[in-house]
């Protein structure tokens, strides 16, 4: 059976990563959450107070990043790639609201996108991969056999995100989460380099009223049909 590349793009907090993780597990594929790479760079910038370089000297920022390597390491137990900064696992730092607030600005910088896309394309796809993000079907893997675009109403997404954060012990309020989502949608869709778009060969899924099991069932059929080609 053919192992394929699955690109999952879509709006913020549509459950792309949770879905990608479950699909990867079901089909024994690897899962890569590309958003975590943009978050890792953002975490590095905020931690080291480098916001001024974002505005004034992106080349200097890239140099600093090259001296403080951000790496993906595959965890055999969880079957996912986790993010390391200077050899330290920073996976748990990435969903902080401060990171979420600043990440779209960082993700709009072409030089940073170029570096991260390079790393994403170097990942071995031969055993099947599910990668989620904003430009996976359009830029990273335009040859992906299956491209999905996830969306849902902003309110539904904000509610889900809010519950997730509260459950994870993060102290936030719902309206901040909703505002952050809307802001990110606008920034991600209007940036010049690799904006969030629905490519013509993508399948659009509005999951406002779908459970994760509904979605997995539907997507599994699509995967099987592509694997058998
Ligand atoms: O999926 P996420 O919310 O963790 O993504 C964080 C930010 O990174 C979001 O503002 C969009 C950006 N991003 C991107 O521009 N391209 C990707 N492939 C993945 C994420």
For 104, phi then psi, to 5°, come to -65, -30
**Ligand 1 in reach of 103 Cβ (< 6 A):** yes
Closest Cα to atom 6 of ligand 1: 35
In this prediction the pTM is 0.93
Separation CA 155–CA 104 (nearest Å): 20
CA of 108 from ligand 1 middle (Å) equals 10
Residue with tokens 């975590």: 36
Per-residue pLDDT tens digits for 125-151? 999 999 999 999 999 999 999 999 999
Q: Let me know: does 97 contact 39? Beta carbons within 8 Å.
A: no
Per-residue pLDDT tens digits for 22-54? 999 999 999 999 999 999 999 999 999 999 999
CA of 128 from ligand 1 middle (Å) equals 22
Indicate the average pLDDT of the chain: 93
- Name the DSSP class of 92: G
Q: What is the arithmetic mean of pLDDT over 88-101?
A: 90
Separation CA 88–CA 229 (nearest Å): 42
pLDDT value at residue 35: 94
Q: What is the arithmetic mean of pLDDT over 202-219?
A: 97
pLDDT value at residue 79: 67
What structural domains and CATH numbers belong to the chain? 5-227 (3.40.50.300)
Neighbours of 185 (CB within 10 A): 18
């Amino acid at each position: 059976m053919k192992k394929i590349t699955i690109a999952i793009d879509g709006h913020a907090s549509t459950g792309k990563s949770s879905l990608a993780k479950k699909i990867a597990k079901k089909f024994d594929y690897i899962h890569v959450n590309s958003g975590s790479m943009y978050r890792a760079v953002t975490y590095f910038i905020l931690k080291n107070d480098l916001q001024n370089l974002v505005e004034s000297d992106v080349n200097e920022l890239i140099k600093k990043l090259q001296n403080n390597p951000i790496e993906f390491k595959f965890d055999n137990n969880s079957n996912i790639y986790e993010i390391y900064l200077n050899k330290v696992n920073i996976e748990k730092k990435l969903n902080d609201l401060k990171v979420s607030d600043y990440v779209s600005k960082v993700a709009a910088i072409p030089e940073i996108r170029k570096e991260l896309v390079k790393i994403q394309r170097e990942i071995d796809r031969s055993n099947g991969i599910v990668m989620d993000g904003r430009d996976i079907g359009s830029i990273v893997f335009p040859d992906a056999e299956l491209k999905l675009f996830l969306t849902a109403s902003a309110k539904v997404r904000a509610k889900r995100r809010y519950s997730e954060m509260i459950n994870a012990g993060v102290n936030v309020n719902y309206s901040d989460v909703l505002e952050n989502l809307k802001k990110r949608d606008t920034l991600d869709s209007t940036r010049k380099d690799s904006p969030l778009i629905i490519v013509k060969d993508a399948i659009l899924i509005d999951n406002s009223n779908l459970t994760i099991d509904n979605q997995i069932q539907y997507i599994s059929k699509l995967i099987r049909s592509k694997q058998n080609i």
